[in-house]
Amino acid sequence: MQAAIALEKLEFGWAKDQPLLNIESLTVMRGERLFLQGASGSGKSTLLNLIGGVLEPNAGAIHLMDVSLQALSKTQRDAFRADHIGFVFQMFNLLPYLNVLENVTLPCGFSTTRRDKAVLRDGSVDDSARRLLDHLELGGALLRRPVTDLSMGQQQRVAVARALIGSPEILIADEPTSALDVGNRDRFLQLLVQECEAEETTLMFVSHDPTLHDHFDRVVDLHGLNRSGGDA
Amino acid sequence: MILLRLTARSLWHRRSTALLTLLTIGVSVMLLLGVEKVRTETRNSFANTLSGTDLIVGARSGQIQLLLYSIFRMGDATSNISWQSYELVKNHKNVAWTVPISVGDSHRGYRVLGTTEGYFDHYRYGNRHPLSFDDGRRFESLYDVVLGAEVAKKLGYTLGSRIVVAHGIGNASFSKHDDKPFRVVGILNRTGTPVDRTVHLSLQALEAIHIDWKAGVKIPGQAVSAEEAAAKELKPKQITAFLVGMKSKVATFHLQRSINNYRKEPMLAILPGVALQQLWDMVGIAEKALMLVSAIVVMAGLVGMLTVILTSLNERRRELAILRSVGARAWQILLLLTLESALLTVLGVGLGIILLYAGIGLSQSFLETQVGVFVPLTALNVYQWKLLGLVVVCGTLVGLIPGYRAYRYSVADGLTIRI
Ligand SMILES: Nc1ncnc2c1ncn2[C@@H]1O[C@H](COP(=O)(O)OP(=O)(O)OP(=O)(O)O)[C@@H](O)[C@H]1O
Ligand SMILES: [Mg+2]
């Protein structure tokens, strides 16, 4: 099986003499669902920014689908991220001035690869968005509603649909459930996992909530992984 | 293009503040265009005041002073020139025609001009337009007057109206030539020149009303009635200035030189085109200052826009991180914010144009009657379009400031959404 994400001897610190991350190696296989946990301030979000190509490591290598991020220029990394990674964040992921459908199709405006994939799969970008929203139990009248009318749980599901449109290989979720209540949280995870499975998407899920472990193939603790030990 | 769509949607979302910004820019652009348009029109009407005259001759003074009192009915003649000197030039072999002019009296704030019938034959304005009558005819008998269009309209005179000429200029002149009333026999068509504001009568009439005057006051006990005056032989001894038309243009400079060097009487002959240009250059300074002020107002409008966008930027940091996470490049963030300013400026300019034409439409008659400038509803000229282009360029450049700020934010924040 091919690796979707491969980190090697990765070192990063915000300040020169304060290493935050020092990871010997971490490999996430394609289609794998990884749960990354760690205390607040341990550098989880920082790691996701490194994988997203927004931050550059001080040393070491990051490979995504066998492409070395270090070999790419800043703009090429931005393009690579647009083509291959979908993101879901803690809350307020959506642009308030676009309706539900427009929010979901947004990545296709920045990546022709994802647009082409969506069109190939469903005939049009809008149809692709409709299918995903439908699977995530959002549909009908909601599509043209302003996103500010939606509940928090609905907003997070819209964000998932947006992260999945155009079938990126990797979905990165940074504490997407922390703003949801328990019932909503499980339902959200079920739908998320189900869609990732259907799309064969590699899922990297960050959270402090250990009750969610069951949904994942593998659980990794950043403390165990990180020789710098975060800010602890 | 996705960025343009996002900018438009984002602006629509913030439409109440965007509208205010738009209004600020629109009003400032309207002001700029308005000043520029009025400037163009004044310059045109200025250059069109007199045409077809080759020389203006008066007593020796400044070139502009002569132009002002002979053509623009402004200021005073320092001294007159003698009828003999006038006749000398008039009979010169290269001179085709001359029109003598005498000024110094007024009627209810409007200047009175004594002249000959030749005035109606030879005075030209604009593209060599002759004067034409709206109603009536030229003056024929001694106490006839011909009114400019504005005089008749403002004072409500029609053919047959009786008017009295006041001695001296200025509205509140106490000494009136009320013993010799005049009758309106003709009203000229509108010309857009000082002719519209002039009361025309014959040189003989001027002689008649001053027959019992000396040095600005009535000679006591020597009153001469209107009929008695008419019976006398009225020969003008002096005039203020005269217009000259040449048989051959080539001889103009030669004649000008001889007049200026004439020994017996100090006289000045000027080329109207040159003097008009010089006068315009002087007036133009004020116009330029006005343009500068409106340019600064536009700048203020753009700075206002800058403030609004920069203020909004903090609240929109999240939006920028979201855009980055869905694939926007850092430079696209810069472009997005710059586009916002550009779009606002373009819309503001559009609004400014609409406001300008609405404004002209509403104030056209006021400007014409009160200020004396007719501003037509014509299309914008190349210079005005260039000016608007410059505003858009400035607005876009101003947009680079929030653009760069947003770029810095999005590089610093990466995908991390900060609240
Ligand atoms: N832009 C930044 N500049 C400097 N330091 C930063 C920056 N972003 C994060 N840090 C620091 O890096 C450390 C790790 O932050 P990070 O956001 O990665 O933690 P986290 O594990 O995601 O925490 P949480 O669970 O609370 O989200 C923290 O000490 C934080 O203060
Ligand atoms: Mg975090």
Residues B305-337: tens digit of each pLDDT: 999 889 888 888 888 888 988 888 888 999 999
Least confident of A18-22, A49-53, B12-16, B412-416: B412-416
User: What single-letter DSSP state applies at residue A159?
Assistant: H
Q: Which residues neighbour A210 within 8 Å (Cβ) at sequence distance 6 or greater? A: A37
How confident is the model at residue B173, as a pLDDT?
55
pLDDT in tens, B232-242: 777 888 899 99
Average pLDDT over residues B33-58: 85
Q: Which of A16, A18, A20 to mutate to test the pocket of ligand 1 (most atoms within 8 A of CB)?
A: A20
Chain A residues with beta carbon closer than 8 angstroms to that of B14: 97
How far is the C-alpha of A224 from the C-alpha of A204, rounded, in Å?
A: 17
For residues B324 and B346, which has the higher predicted lDDT (pLDDT)? B346
Distance (angstroms) between ligand 2 centre and the Cα of A89 equals 9
Least confident of B20-34, B118-132, B208-222, B375-389: B208-222
Average pLDDT, rounded, for chain B = 87
How confident is the model at residue A232, as a pLDDT?
43
Average pLDDT over residues B337-341: 93
- pLDDT under 50: residue ranges of chain A: 230-232
Q: Hey, of B3, B326, B332, which one would you mutate to test binding to chain A, going by the most A CBs within 10 A of its CB?
A: B326
Average pLDDT over residues B286-294: 86
CB-CB contact of B286 with B278 (8 Å): no
Q: Which residues neighbour B109 within 8 Å (Cβ) at sequence distance 6 or greater? A: B170, B171
Q: Which of A188, A174, A170, A189 is nearest to A222 (CA)?
A: A174
Q: Which of A11, A46, A49, A88 to mutate to test the pocket of ligand 1 (most atoms within 8 A of CB)?
A: A46
Least confident of A97-106, A196-205, B45-54, B94-103: B45-54
CB-CB contact of A217 with A185 (8 Å): no
Average pLDDT over residues B262-275: 91
For residues A225 and B56, which has the higher predicted lDDT (pLDDT)? B56
How confident is the model at residue A198, as a pLDDT?
85
How confident is the model at residue A1, as a pLDDT?
63
Please return the burial class of B57, using the count of CB atoms within 10 Å of its CB with bins 0-12, 13-18 and 19+: buried
Please return the burial class of B227, using the count of CB atoms within 10 Å of its CB with bins 0-12, 13-18 and 19+: exposed
How far is the C-alpha of A35 from the C-alpha of B53, rounded, in Å?
A: 96
How far is the C-alpha of B193 from the C-alpha of B46, rounded, in Å?
A: 8
Please return the burial class of B401, using the count of CB atoms within 10 Å of its CB with bins 0-12, 13-18 and 19+: middle
Closest CA in chain A for residue B327: A82
Residue B117 has pLDDT above 70, yes or no: yes
How far is the C-alpha of B202 from the C-alpha of B154, rounded, in Å?
A: 23
**B124-125 vs B182-188, strand pairing mode:** unpaired
Distance (angstroms) between ligand 1 centre and the Cα of A173 equals 16
How confident is the model at residue B172, as a pLDDT?
55
**A218-221 vs B133-136, strand pairing mode:** unpaired
- pLDDT class for B121, splitting at 50, 70, 90? very high
How confident is the model at residue A230, as a pLDDT?
47
Q: Which of B10, B327, B330 sits opposite A97 (nearest CB)?
A: B10
Residue B222 has pLDDT above 80, yes or no: no
A40 Cβ closer than 6 Å to some ligand 1 atom = yes
- pLDDT class for B366, splitting at 50, 70, 90? confident
Residue with tokens 């080539």: B250
Residue B286 has pLDDT above 70, yes or no: yes
Structure tokens at A76: 């090429």
Average pLDDT over residues B378-395: 92
- pLDDT class for B84, splitting at 50, 70, 90? very high
DSSP E strand stretches across B236-392? 238-239, 241-246, 267-270
How far is the C-alpha of B323 from the C-alpha of B302, rounded, in Å?
A: 26
A111 touching chain B per CB within 8 A = yes
How far is the C-alpha of A195 from the C-alpha of B409, rounded, in Å?
A: 33
